[in-house]
Structure 1
Amino acid sequence: MVISLIGKKALVGGSSRGIGLAIAEQLAASGASVTLMSRSKEKLKNLIDHLSTDKGQKHQYLAVDFTDFKGYQEILERYFEKNSIDILINNTQGPEAGGALEKRVVDYQQAFDLLFKTVVFTTELALEQMQKNQWGRIINVASISVKEPLSYLALSNSIRAAVVTWAKSLSFDVAREGITVNNILTGYFDTERIAQLNAKKAEKLGVPQAEVRSTMENQVPVKRIGDPKEYGYLVAFLASQQASYITGTNIPIDGGLLKSL
């Protein structure tokens, strides 16, 4: 099977590093023209030059701050005045780690704006042209914690659960228009985010960071942490025509870590 996204345009959030970057690279390699989104303008400029253009792709970027919803809103509205997309990858940085007793209402509101409000807003803008084209792919980067909450990620557990149930509701409404909506439940991947979480956990437990990582690897049935490239492969498939009968799903990519069905 050959995954071809030639002629498709994708918007990828949080794509200056980690999973978001791996997704952008794979979509571009499959033929899509990609718009990167992240905070670092200089980093985005450099990354654009490394994306594949051998199939006539034209890439661009948006420097945005997902934590500043008003500013984000203005930038995205201007973008969609002149652009349309076929593939939307809703992905942002995660909120601060911490347990439920450590967080207050203001923390949940900030996490809501970051993880939920930006996703719904961006999707609303993207949907107009997708509906006209009778084709579209909306893929939300979520977490295995929506099925099995992680005690140290109370904010992420709560708000990402809202995202996946919203996405299920949306999938019913747009399915007949050739638009699919799916959530990827992310396990442990070798990213800066994981390194930061491990560092915080190591400090709290008073153990070396290498020990925290080793414990994490041993929890995964395949006994390793995922390569972000593997994530990109899944997204490229879900973005393709071959995945047109897959919608409204939560797909774990976790090396078998989830114990629930």
Structure 2
Amino acid sequence: MIISLKNKKALVGGASQGLGYAIARQLADSGASLTLMARNEDKLRAIASELPATEGQQHNYLVVDFADLASYKKIIETFFSANTVDILVNNTNGPKAGAVLEKTGADYQSAFDLLFQTVQHTTALAVKHMKEQSFGRIINLTSRTIKEPVDSLALSNTIRAAVVAWGKTLSRDLGKYNITVNNILTGNFDTERLTELFEAQAEAQSSTTEAIKAKSITDIPLQRLGTAAELANVVTFLASDQAAYVTGVSIPVDGGLLKSI
């Protein structure tokens, strides 16, 4: 199967590193023009300049802080006042780790703004053009913890579950416009974010990062962490014409880590 995204424009969140960067890279490799979003302008500028442009793509970036909802809304509204996208990959940085009773109402509100409000607002702006052209791809990066919660990730467990339910509901409204909406339930990938989570778990359990990592790998049937490129391949398929009949689903990409069906 050869996937071509030539003449398609994609907006990818969290694109300065990890999963977001790998997704942006694979979409560009497949011919799409990218707009990258993250906080670090130096990284964004460097990535935008090195992405492939063999199909005549033009790449750019937006410096945004998903944790600052008011500022984020202004930036993304300005972007969509002059731009359109065909592919939207909703991906934000995660909230702080912590157990459910450690978190306050303010913590849950902040996580809701970070993980849900930014996604909903960006999507509402993006679908206007998608509906007009009768084509669109919306892909939400969430987590396998919405099915099997991790005790130390109370905020992420809770709010990402809301994103998945919203995405499923949205897919039913947008199907008639040839717009697909799908959720990716990410497992454990070899990224900086996962290292941070391992470090937090190690501190909470009076253990070491290496021990936490080794234990996490033994729980994965494939007996290894995933690579960011492996997840990017799945996202790129969902963004393509070949996935035109796939919508409203939540796809675990986790090496078999989830025990539930």
* TM-score (norm. length: structure 2): 0.99
The equivalent of 1:140 in structure 2 is: 140
Residues 157-172 of structure 1 correspond to what in structure 2 (within 5 A)? 157-172=157-172
Residues 14-163 of structure 1 correspond to what in structure 2 (within 5 A)? 14-163=14-163
Structure 2 unaligned spans of 5+: none
- Code of the residue aligned with 2:200 in structure 1: it is K
Q: Report SS of the residue matched to 1:198.
A: helix
* Distance (whole Å) between structure 1 residues aligned to residue 11 and residue 40 of structure 2: 16
* Distance (whole Å) between structure 1 residues aligned to residue 257 and residue 64 of structure 2: 33
The C-alpha deviation readout for 1:55-97, integer Å capped at 9, x for no partner, is: 1110000000001111101101110111000000000000000
The CA deviation at 1:104 is: 0.7
The equivalent of 1:201 in structure 2 is: 201
Which runs of structure 1 show a deviation greater than 6 angstroms over 4 or more consecutive aligned residues?
A: none
- Code of the residue aligned with 2:123 in structure 1: it is T
* Distance (whole Å) between structure 2 residues aligned to residue 137 and residue 241 of structure 1: 10
- Code of the residue aligned with 1:158 in structure 2: it is T
* Distance (whole Å) between structure 2 residues aligned to residue 203 and residue 153 of structure 1: 14
The CA deviation at 1:32 is: 0.2
* Distance (whole Å) between structure 1 residues aligned to residue 133 and residue 243 of structure 2: 17
The C-alpha deviation readout for 1:206-245, integer Å capped at 9, x for no partner, is: 2221111111111100000000000110000000000000
Which moves more between the two structures, 196-205 or 236-245? 196-205
The CA deviation at 1:128 is: 0.3
- Code of the residue aligned with 1:137 in structure 2: it is R
* TM-score (norm. length: structure 1): 0.99
CA RMSD of aligned residues (A): 0.6
Q: Report SS of the residue matched to 1:82.
A: coil
- Code of the residue aligned with 2:127 in structure 1: it is L
Residues 166-181 of structure 1 correspond to what in structure 2 (within 5 A)? 166-181=166-181
- Count of matched residue pairs: 261
* Distance (whole Å) between structure 2 residues aligned to residue 76 and residue 230 of structure 1: 29
- Code of the residue aligned with 2:146 in structure 1: it is V
* Distance (whole Å) between structure 2 residues aligned to residue 247 and residue 171 of structure 1: 6
The equivalent of 1:245 in structure 2 is: 245
Q: Report SS of the residue matched to 2:4.
A: coil
- Code of the residue aligned with 2:181 in structure 1: it is V
The equivalent of 1:233 in structure 2 is: 233
Q: Report SS of the residue matched to 1:180.
A: strand
Structure 1 unaligned spans of 5+: none
Q: Report SS of the residue matched to 1:49.
A: helix
The C-alpha deviation readout for 1:120-161, integer Å capped at 9, x for no partner, is: 000000000000000000000000011111111000000000
- Code of the residue aligned with 1:106 in structure 2: it is A
- Code of the residue aligned with 1:239 in structure 2: it is A
Aligned-pair identity (%):
53
The equivalent of 1:2 in structure 2 is: 2
